[in-house]
């Protein structure tokens, strides 16, 4: 018994490493507490008819409690189903393409023998990720503007009529998907390329000795060893299936009413509700986003755990 007590005491002993790791984690912990946990108090706005009456806390306290009324208005609105459709369908396309295209590009760049050129290609594809959607929107406007846009100037020089690009909804879904991939391809590719770089080279040497070609090595060595990272990225993407890139869907279409049916997503809806001072409705929509996202990520992880427990996040 005495030996067991001594062992327990040793296990509970606070070491210098614990102190160093705690200090190292302290800034991140404080950041999460201030910007992730404390704002959760604002969830109560979703259940109130929020009106500004002085300070923030005073406004919350004095605003009338309406229960689930904001949620009722949210789901009774005729355009909510268009918003959900756009948000989910775009994200499904993003999830599929954001796995297939970056993995393919990472595999191809990983096979380049000229490492300097590989870095050049990698940097070129990574650069758009650092651009703001505001800057990208200005560049797109320079091409698509009806009066002075480059494309319309080109059409006029060929003797054709200019187009109202911001009034042609059928062209925008593929264009928005293309812009998303153009901006985010580099970031996703770097994640997969780092995984490929970390694979032990002896696997490839053994496969080469057995007579495997380059394509067979990618299929039977590289891809299986990338599986865990690919699944992790998939689960994280599924968790944000009810979220959308606000800059992409609000800034790039320039909030054109003609593109409403193809560019209106939940994040744009929340922003517009805030602009119109219906804060309770905006908070209700954001609350639904959070709950639905939590459910989807837990469901996706549970399915992965059933199929391949080692690849699950928890």
Q: Give the residue ranges of the chain where pLDDT is below 50.
A: none
pLDDT of residue 159: 85
DSSP of 106-132, one letter per residue?
A: HHHHHT-S-HHHHHHHHHHHHGGGGS-
Instruction: Decide: residue 245, CB within 10 A, 0-12 exposed, 13-18 middle, 19+ buried.
Output: buried
Cα 102 to chain center, whole Å? Answer: 15
pTM attached to this predicted model: 0.84
Strand (E) or helix (H) holding 48: strand 48-49
d(CA 292, CA 249) in angstroms, rounded, equals 20
pLDDT of residue 149: 86
DSSP structural state of residue 266: H
DSSP structural state of residue 167: G
pLDDT of residue 59: 83
Query: Radius of gyration (Cα) for the chain, nearest Å?
Result: 25
């Amino acid at each position: 018994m005495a030996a067991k007590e001594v062992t327990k005491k040793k296990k509970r002993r606070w070491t210098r490493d614990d102190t160093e790791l705690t200090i190292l984690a302290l800034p991140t912990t404080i950041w999460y507490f201030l910007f992730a946990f404390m704002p959760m108090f604002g969830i109560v706005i979703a259940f109130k008819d929020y009106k500004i009456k002085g300070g923030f806390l005073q406004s919350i306290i004095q605003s009338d409690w309406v229960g689930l009324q904001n949620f009722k208005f949210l789901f009774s609105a005729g355009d909510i189903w268009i918003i959900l459709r756009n948000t989910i369908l775009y994200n499904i396309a993003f999830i599929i393409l954001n796995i297939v295209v970056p993995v393919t590009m990472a595999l191809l760049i990983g096979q380049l023998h000229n490492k300097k050129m590989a870095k050049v290609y990698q940097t070129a594809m990574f650069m758009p990720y650092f651009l703001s959607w505001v800057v990208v929107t200005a560049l797109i406007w320079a091409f698509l503007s009806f009066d002075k846009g480059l494309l319309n100037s080109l059409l006029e020089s060929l003797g054709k009529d200019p187009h109202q690009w911001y009034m042609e909804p059928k062209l925008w879904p593929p264009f928005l998907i293309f812009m998303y991939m153009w901006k985010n391809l580099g970031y996703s590719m770097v994640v997969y390329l780092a995984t490929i770089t970390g694979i032990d080279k002896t696997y490839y040497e053994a496969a080469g000795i057995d007579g495997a070609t380059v394509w067979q090595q990618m299929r039977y060595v590289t891809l299986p060893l990338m599986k865990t990272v690919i699944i992790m990225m998939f689960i994280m993407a599924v968790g944000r299936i009810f979220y959308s890139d606000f800059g992409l869907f609000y800034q790039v279409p320039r909030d054109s009413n003609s593109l409403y049916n193809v560019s209106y997503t939940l994040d744009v809806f929340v922003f517009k509700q805030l602009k119109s001072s219906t804060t309770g409705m905006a908070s209700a929509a954001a609350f639904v986003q959070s709950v639905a996202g939590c459910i989807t990520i837990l469901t996706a992880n549970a399915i992965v755990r059933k199929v391949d427990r080692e690849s699950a996040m928890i």
